[in-house]
Structure 1
Amino acid sequence: MARRRRSAMPERVRVSRRMPPGHVRAPAYLRGKTGVVERALGRFANPEQLAYGLPAGKEPLYRVRFTMAEVWGAAAERPDDTIDAEIFAHWLTPVTERQDAP
């Protein structure tokens, strides 16, 4: 049986390229990369705020799937293999077909 994706996020997303100083929860090697939201995981306190003892509201957390080809380009030994990462919504932006076109 196919499982329905329960997410307010669009299916295709791009991880922000920003490189802020300090404690962040988006892996540097995924910044600027495009993936597919595999599922919504719930709402959790933002660890980027908690790391500094700041109040942290709950934010949506998503499991996003990336192909090795997307992450590593021509260096990917197995381009169709995937990696999943749990990324907070404030790091993700929707990707439209028009944006994704060459």
Structure 2
Amino acid sequence: MSTRFVLNQKVRIADRDAPGHVRTPVYARGKEGRIERVLPRFLDPEREAYGVNEGSETRLYRVRIKQSALWPDYDGQADDVLELEIYEHWLEQVGDHSDTEGR
């Protein structure tokens, strides 16, 4: 089964208001990172939280984001990263996925 995003692809976490139960942290919205791992599909937790159990699934990805991109005043090591598991409907493509800058 094909995936929308591939390993090392540059992505942006959507920057949108989403009332209610979501699994995408506010501090990561609008930030760019890279796909670190493509994970299986799971029941959509945003639909499940409201009892809309229709069996819809969505792909999960582990996204690696530089700490300095998340926190402007971050004073740790330049190569420190945070890895977040983000559902596919929260991710947007950025540029050409063959771009490997920032691996």
Normalised by the length of structure 1, the TM-score is 0.82
Contiguous gaps of at least 5 residues in structure 2: 97-103
Matches within 5 A, 1:78-97: 78=76, 79-96=78-95
The yes-or-no answer on 1:9 pairing with 2:9 is no
SS at match of 2:69: helix
SS at match of 1:84: strand
Question: Alpha-carbon deviations, 1:3-46, whole Å to 9, x = none?
Answer: xxx95405000000001110011110000000000011110001
Give me the identity figure in percent: 42
The higher-RCO structure (CA 8 Å, 6+ apart) is 2
1 or 2, which has the higher helix percentage? 1
Instruction: Verify the 8 A CA contact 1:7 1:39 in the aligned structure 2.
Output: no
Summarize the Cα distance change of 1:8–1:20 in structure 2 as closer, same or farther, 3 Å threshold: closer
CA RMSD of aligned residues (A): 1.6
1:3 counterpart residue number: none
Normalised by the length of structure 2, the TM-score is 0.82
